[in-house]
Structure 1
Amino acid sequence: MIKRYFEQRNLILEVNLGTDKNGKSVSRKYNFRNIRPNATDTSIHAVAVAISKLIPFPTDAISIVEQQGLLDDSMEA
């Protein structure tokens, strides 16, 4: 039987730095790794908003990226 298991969760904040000399939008992503697996979406969002207030540029997006793996029980010794 194939089972899914949790590996890692990251919080990503994308901020708008403005525009370059050609008028193209410039952004930056801040990646916060190893978010606790039991953290709720509400608490993660609250932390993201608090961090956003410390960054001197507007936040365009708040994202969560989860990495999971697959394990085949029949391959275990």
Structure 2
Amino acid sequence: MADILNSRLTLELNEGNDENGNVMLKYKHFNNVKTTALDEDLHDVAVALGALQAFPVVSMKRVNEYDLSTLAAQES
């Protein structure tokens, strides 16, 4: 398995509609999430942070970054 380098939480917010009726989205990124944090715990944090936002939350995402170069060494 590849080594995880870092993790971040992204909230997607609905800022309303533009003059053409298209949905305008805004993204808030929270970096330096502990890579060992459980998804359920991160979800609870995302819900709490979402309640503090001026606009409604459309989605909550965890983004993990992995070092794939370590896979070649493990296969040898």
Task: Give the TM-score range, shorter chain.
Answer: 0.7 to 0.9
Q: Percent identity?
A: 31
Q: Which residue is 1:9 aligned to?
A: 7
Aligned equivalents of 2:64, 2:44: Cα separation in 1: 18
Aligned equivalents of 2:66, 2:37: Cα separation in 1: 16
Task: Give the secondary structure class of the aligned counterpart of 1:38.
Answer: coil
| Structure 1 unpaired stretches of 5+ | none
Higher helix share: 2
Q: Which residue is 2:35 aligned to?
A: 37
- How many residues align? The count is 72
| Structure 2 unpaired stretches of 5+ | none
Larger Rg: 1
Q: Which residue is 1:73 aligned to?
A: 73
Q: Which runs of 4+ in 1 moved over 4 A?
A: none
Aligned equivalents of 1:45, 1:6: Cα separation in 2: 19
Q: What RMSD over aligned residues (CA atoms) do the two structures have, in Å?
A: 1.4
Shift of 1:50: 0.5
